[in-house]
Amino acid sequence: PDFRDKSGTTPLMFAAQRVHSRDPAQLLITFNANLNAQDSKGNTPLHYTVAFNNATVMDILLNKGASQNIPNNKGQTALDLAIDRKKTNAANFLQSFQDGKEYLPSIFRSIARNKEFKKFFTRLYPFFVVYYLIYVIQLSGHWFWKILYIGFLYGTTYVFRLIIFDRWTTRYVPMAVATALFFWLYTTWFIYFRPIVFDFSIYTLTFIMVTMLSWYNFYKSYATDPGILVQNKESMKTEKFRF
């Protein structure tokens, strides 16, 4: 996967330059492509993602551990290149990964590095949030207490965001939220409308049909690429010449 052309460009660099989707870069990395390889000008795949506005491959490289500290022959790291080219989004994206979670106490840093736990927690947390919100809304107390309870939930979520939620775990959020909403929807339906449910009335059939259509629409939205911004050939030639 690290075959080079005359200018020292590797397939992963070509993927960062030409392909604004996950699969090619992910496949190359699966076959142990060098994340920090440098071409004849000292540019790494991360430099290429900055130069060609490829946020998708940039996200993959950073999550797989690509180094941000490698300068090219001009002495520019990927972040330096982003700042020099006035690519604000790329610069902010790179800086967010540089910051890391070193400010956390050691016990929380160990949790923050445990990807399996973070994935499990991210999938489970929306179930608690939906239940908690429904519970607070139906409370008969004063509205002040409801605001206080919701504020507590916000504060708790903020703490979890610092420790657990990050760019790697957010990919699980849409499915987790949808699953939690449908779970409590079905639970409420079967608990409070049990006589109607087991009568298989028109209401039951309508409910099942609507929720199944909702699941189908969600699946199509989640599984389908929402769109890829690809540079035209002229802009890519200009960018490559500058690079």
Among 70, 99, 128, the domain boundary falls at 99
Whether residue 46 is predicted with pLDDT greater than 90 in this model: the reply is yes
* Cβ atoms of 29 and 60 closer than 8 Å: yes
**Both 23 and 88 in a single domain?**
yes
Question: Are 65 and 121 contained in the same domain?
Answer: no
Q: Are residues 90 and 111 in the same domain?
A: no
Mean pLDDT for 131-151 is 88
DSSP assignment letter at 31: T
Least reliable range by pLDDT among 57-71, 102-116, 184-198? 102-116
Has residue 80 been placed in a domain?
Answer: yes
Residue 206 to residue 191: CA distance in whole angstroms: 17
Rounded Cα distance between 220 and 226, Å, is 10
Supply the angle between the helices 55-63 and 11-18 in degrees, to the nearest 10. 140
Residue 233, classed as helix, strand or coil, is helix
Residue 100, pLDDT above cutoff 90: no
Span 3-13, mean pLDDT? Answer: 88
Q: Regarding predicted confidence, which is higher, 112 or 191?
A: 191
Summarised one tens digit per residue, pLDDT across range 218-230 is 777 666 544 444 4
State which residues form the domain around 115.
106-192
pLDDT band at 76 (very low <50, low <70, confident <90, very high): very high
Residue 201 maps to a domain: no
Tell me how crowded residue 127 is: count the other CB atoms within 10 A of its CB: 16
Q: Are residues 116 and 157 in the same domain?
A: yes
138 domain-assigned: yes
Sorted by sequence, the CB contacts under 8 Å of residue 53 that are 6+ apart come out as 87, 90, 229, 231
Domain presence at residue 130 = yes
Q: 242 pLDDT band (50/70/90 cuts)?
A: low
227: in domain = no
Rounded CA-CA distance 44/235 in Å is 21
Buried b vs exposed e over 29-68: b needs ≥16 C-beta within 10 Å?
Answer: beeebebebbbeeebbbbbbbbbbbbebbbbbbbeeebeb
CA angle 93, 63, 154 (to 5 degrees): 65
For residue 237, what pLDDT band results from cuts at 50, 70 and 90?
low
User: 71, 99, 127: which is the final residue of a domain?
Assistant: 99
Say if residue 111 is in the same domain as residue 95. no
